[in-house]
Amino acid sequence: MVLVSFNNNGSKVIKPTFKQILTNPFLFVSTGGGIGLVPFAPGTFGSGLGLCLYIFIAHFSIPNINGVIIFIVMTLFSLFIVHKSIELMGNEDHKEIVLDEILAMMLVAHFIPPDPIWAIGAFCIFRFFDIAKPYPINLVDKKMKNSVGIILDDLIAAAYSIILVVLLKYLLI
């Protein structure tokens, strides 16, 4: 069963089912393995998944330069995957797509000390910026209705979060 609705512009929007997500690799990755289907706060759950994935990957002691290369590759793959997903679902930022939150939270997590308190704090700071959408996040969110906009607004929220986390780290440690 496919759930179809129409947005304010009259464009068709398709809400994927769990079965579709399991059978389509683009939808599977862009929804964080189906986490994006959580009926409340899917972005928060996606951010949590991003934090957990980063903590897991960090145990492999990736040097910073390799981490930068990996992040760039992940961003490029994310742009492609989100593009393919919105082609299937309708061209807008669907709440089911949480790959942007996963990627951005992994970036924020790279700048925190290995301490659960810092992880929780960084998570809350990122969610604040992602939900509040201060300038220019709100502009990107409103004007860029494509994969670049979907990823970019979360990367800007991550940049704001990183600035605050680094400042707090400098002042508190």
Q: Domain range holding 47?
A: 3-172
What is the per-residue pLDDT across 161-170, written as a single tens digit (0 to 9) for each? 999 999 999 9
What is the per-residue pLDDT across 83-109, written as a single tens digit (0 to 9) for each? 999 999 987 778 999 999 999 999 999
Per-residue pLDDT at 116: 95
Burial of 59 (0-12, 13-18, 19+ CB in 10 A): exposed
For the chain, what is the mean pLDDT? Answer: 90
Task: Specify the residue for token string 């082609």.
Answer: 87
CB 103 within 8 A of CB 151: yes
What is the per-residue pLDDT across 54-78, written as a single tens digit (0 to 9) for each? 999 888 776 777 778 889 999 999 9
Domain count, the chain: 1
> Does the pLDDT of residue 2 top 60, yes or no?
no
What pTM was computed for the model?
Answer: 0.91
CB 34 within 8 A of CB 22: yes
* CA–CA dist 1, 169 (Å, integer): 49
